[in-house]
């Protein structure tokens, strides 16, 4: 079903992207964000990106966390890094495709993290249009279908840059007692970003992670979250699975490390669900566009009268 992954173990070591890559079109931009630490953001960003690449999508993962777990989890060595996400934010005119480092997964590239990102917060304060730096770097034709940003565990200016840049946010939520704590803060931040910087920003979906069916609390938390967020919660639930936590130490996504493990299978299902949601959103957008086109051509339409 996913031949790209099987071929991956013989892929060459990461290197900078072939400059002859086609210019491409506008990618779909997703941020994986939750200011709460350790909820599965990086595991989700890495394995979702891998699963999308495995079904033939061209994917760029931008590692915005100075911890650099997504970069190391994809086997990128510090010595391979020439320019990083830090440069993408601060150097005007840089092309993300030129910074992209290939990974062992065909079709999956990463703009790696850098320790300098830890200081970015303070450096950004005095920068012009500081909230738009990443948006200006990523909202342009790129040779990728998806750009996924892995955010740090804070609502810092770096995370804000990601929220201003992307189309939608994937919010991982750990199935534990304090899961919903702080979530209202994230939702308020997303609302504020929508009002002031990025009117089309949407919550793509809420992802329940580290679900343990033997633990009644996991089920209770999942019910609460579904009651609160309704259809925004993905049907796919990521189970607690030790293989997901072992894989990064081998510099591999879990989907490559052990494709059959329940965690990897769940991320493959999630990618399918996300692609289906994307198609539905696209169809709704097209319907909306043709509707407004029809209205503007209809002489009886109030829109046309106003314009006349
Ligand atoms: N479904 C899972 N089952 C078991 N372990 C998991 C699962 N998801 C993530 N982990 C492990 O939990 C830890 C935290 O996960 P991860 O690094 O993805 O979270 P994070 O939200 O990115 O953390 P941070 O906020 O520090 O960036 C890691 O050790 C990871 O391997
Ligand atoms: Mg992380």
* Residue among 32, 35, 38 to mutate when testing ligand 1 (max atoms within 8 A of CB): 38
- Structural domain for 70, as ranges: 3-307
- In this structure, the strands spanning 202-209 and 28-32 are unpaired
Question: What distance in angstroms lies between residue 106's CA and the mean position of ligand 1's atoms?
Answer: 24
304: CA distance to ligand 2 center in Å?
A: 50
283 CA distance to ligand 2 middle (Å): 33
Closest residue to atom 23 of ligand 1, CA basis: 38
Instruction: Work out how many domains the chain is built from and give that number.
Output: 1
Report pLDDT digits (tens) over 128-163: 899 999 999 999 999 999 999 999 999 999 999 999
- The beta-strand segments (E) located in 125-167 are 146-150
pLDDT higher for 180 or 271?
271
User: Which residue CA neighbors atom 29 of ligand 1 most closely?
Assistant: 245
Q: Residue 13: pLDDT band by 50, 70, 90 thresholds?
A: very low
CATH of the domain at 130: 3.40.50.300
For the chain, the straight-line distance linking the first and the last C-alpha, in angstroms and rounded, comes to: 55
What pLDDT is stored for residue 301 in this prediction? 57
For the ranges 209-218, 224-233, 276-285, which has the lowest average pLDDT? 276-285
pLDDT band of 180, cuts 50, 70, 90? confident
Q: Is the model's pTM score more than 0.85?
A: yes
Average confidence (pLDDT) over 190-208: 96
pLDDT on residue 20: 46
The per-residue pLDDT for 237 is: 97
Give, for 145, the enclosing helix (H) or strand (E): none
Task: Give the C-alpha separation, 305 to 308, whole Å.
Answer: 5
Tokens of 31: 């941020």
**37 pLDDT more than 80:** yes
Ligand closest to 39 (CA) is 1
Degrees (nearest 5) of the Cα angle 169, 74, 94?
A: 65
Nearest CA to ligand 1 atom 11: 245
pLDDT digits (tens, 9 = 90+) for 39-66: 999 999 999 999 999 999 999 999 999 9
- Listed in sequence order, the residues at least 6 apart from 81 whose beta carbon sits closer than 8 Å to its beta carbon are 71, 101, 112, 114
Mean pLDDT of the chain: 88
Kindly report, residue by residue over 232-267, the tens digit of the pLDDT.
999 999 999 999 999 999 999 999 999 999 999 999
Contacts 24+ apart (CB under 8 A), 180-188: 180/221, 180/224, 180/225, 180/228, 181/36, 182/35, 182/36, 183/34, 183/36, 185/35, 185/155, 186/33, 186/34, 186/35, 186/155
138 vs 282: CA distance, rounded Å: 20
What is the predicted pLDDT for the residue at 22?
A: 55
Distance from Cα 38 to the centre of ligand 1, integer Å: 5
**With DSSP H G I counted as helix, E B as strand and the rest as coil, what are the percentages for the chain, rounded to 5?**
50, 15, 35
Name the closest-CA residue to atom 16, ligand 1. 40
Reported as a pLDDT band with limits 50, 70 and 90, residue 11 is very low
What's the average model confidence in pLDDT over 268-274? 97
Nearest ligand, CA of residue 239? Answer: 1
pLDDT at 304 > cutoff 80: no
In this prediction, residue 108 has a pLDDT band, given cuts at 50, 70 and 90, of: very high
- Tell the residue nearest (CA) to atom 30 of ligand 1: 245
* pLDDT on residue 281: 83
Alpha carbon distance 102, 53 (integer Å): 12
The DSSP 8-state label assigned to residue 197 in this structure reads T
Of the candidates 81, 194, 90, which has an alpha carbon nearest to the alpha carbon of residue 137? Answer: 90
Percent of the chain at pLDDT above 90? 71
DSSP sequence for 60-85: EEEE--TT-HHHHHTT--GGG-SS-H
Instruction: Please indicate whether residue 68, judged by its CB atom, sits closer than 6 Å to ligand 1.
Output: no
Strand 59-63 versus strand 101-102 pairing type: unpaired
Cβ(274)–Cβ(204) below 8 Å: yes
């Amino acid at each position: 079903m996913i031949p790209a992954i099987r071929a991956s173990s013989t892929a060459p070591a990461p290197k900078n992207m072939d400059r002859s890559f086609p210019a491409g079109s506008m990618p779909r931009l997703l941020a994986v964000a939750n200011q709460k630490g350790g909820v599965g953001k990086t595991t989700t960003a890495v394995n979702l990106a891998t699963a999308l690449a495995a079904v033939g999508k061209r994917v760029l993962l931008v590692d915005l966390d100075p911890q650099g777990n997504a970069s190391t989890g994809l086997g990128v060595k510090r010595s391979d890094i020439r320019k990083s996400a830090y440069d993408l934010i601060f150097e005007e005119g840089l092309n993300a495709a030129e910074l992209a480092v290939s990974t062992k997964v065909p079709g999956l590239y990463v703009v790696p993290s850098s320790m300098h990102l830890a200081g970015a917060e303070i450096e950004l304060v005095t920068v012009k249009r500081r909230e738009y730096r990443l948006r200006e770097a990523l909202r342009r034709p790129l040779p990728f279908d998806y750009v996924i940003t892995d955010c740090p565990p804070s609502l810092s200016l770096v995370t804000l840059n990601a929220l201003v840049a992307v189309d939608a946010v994937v919010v991982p939520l750990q199935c534990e007692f304090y899961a919903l704590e702080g979530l209202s803060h994230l939702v308020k931040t997303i609302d504020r970003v929508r009002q002031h910087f990025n009117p089309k920003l949407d919550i793509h979906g809420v992802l329940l992670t580290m679900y343990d069916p033997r633990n009644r609390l996991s089920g209770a938390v999942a019910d609460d979250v579904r009651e609160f967020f309704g259809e925004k919660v993905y049907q796919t639930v990521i189970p607690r699975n030790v293989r997901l936590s072992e894989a990064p130490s081998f510099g591999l996504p879990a989907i490559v490390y052990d494709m059959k493990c329940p965690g990897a299978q769940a991320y493959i299902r999630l990618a399918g669900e996300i692609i289906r949601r994307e198609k539905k959103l696209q169809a709704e957008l097209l319907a909306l566009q043709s509707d407004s086109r029809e209205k503007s051509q209809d002489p009886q339409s109030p829109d046309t009268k106003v314009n006349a």
